[in-house]
């Protein structure tokens, strides 16, 4: 057997075993990415498991931080449109050449806002990517069992691909 054929054979084995080991993580990230594209992690009515999976996906921890409520006084001040007093008020006015106060640019009437861009095409693209990643990973697992004679190693690597991230999550 030639050297290039031996190298190719080794590379195929490495690709197979590394792919089987990381397959559970790929399936996890494809699934949780799909849920995040739907925006389910941002809804308070979503089940807790969706929030936990999103936290693992984004922050590599299952602990969901408690959000601090905003102070009511600060919200009321911004809602009423109160102008700040003292030194803060000086930030809202600029002096012109005569020394007379000039209204700040943010006091000028704002032009009508344009509607935000639609993210639907991008979301559809990521749904397709998720489906492709999921299908490709599952077919790779199937092929690793179908065309590999060492099914025990494949199974062990799949189990390790699930267990290792769960163990590391505890640290």
* Beta pairing class for 93-95 and 101-103: antiparallel
Range of the domain at 142: 1-64+120-171
Distance in angstroms (rounded) separating the CA atoms of residues 98 and 50: 61
Virtual torsion, Cα 68, 71, 75, 78, nearest 10 deg = -110
> What is the total count of domains within the chain?
1
Asked, for residue 99, whether it belongs to a domain, the answer is no
Asked, for residue 115, whether it belongs to a domain, the answer is no
Asked, for residue 69, whether it belongs to a domain, the answer is no
Asked, for residue 55, whether it belongs to a domain, the answer is yes
Asked, for residue 78, whether it belongs to a domain, the answer is no
Asked, for residue 166, whether it belongs to a domain, the answer is yes
Per-residue pLDDT of the chain (171 residues; tens, 9 = 90+): 789 999 999 999 999 999 999 999 999 999 999 998 888 888 888 888 888 898 889 888 888 877 777 676 555 555 555 544 444 444 444 444 555 555 555 556 666 677 777 788 899 999 999 999 999 999 999 999 998 889 999 999 999 999 999 999 888
- The pTM is what? 0.66
């Amino acid at each position: 057997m030639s050297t290039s054929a031996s190298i190719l054979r080794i590379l195929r084995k490495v690709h197979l075993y590394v792919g089987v080991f990381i397959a559970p993580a790929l399936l996890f990230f494809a699934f949780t990415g799909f849920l995040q594209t739907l925006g389910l992690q941002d809804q308070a009515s979503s089940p807790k498991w969706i929030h936990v999976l999103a936290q693992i996906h984004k922050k590599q921890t299952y602990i969901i931080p408690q959000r601090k409520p905003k102070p009511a006084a600060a919200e009321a001040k911004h809602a009423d449109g109160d102008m700040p007093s003292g030194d803060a008020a000086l930030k809202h006015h600029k002096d012109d050449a005569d020394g007379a106060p000039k209204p700040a640019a943010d006091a000028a009437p704002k032009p009508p806002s344009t509607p935000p861009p639609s993210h639907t095409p991008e979301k559809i693209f990521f749904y397709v990517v998720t489906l492709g990643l999921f299908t490709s990973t599952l077919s790779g697992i199937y092929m690793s069992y179908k065309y590999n004679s060492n099914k025990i190693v494949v199974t062990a690597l799949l189990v390790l691909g699930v267990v290792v991230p769960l163990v590391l999550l505890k640290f």
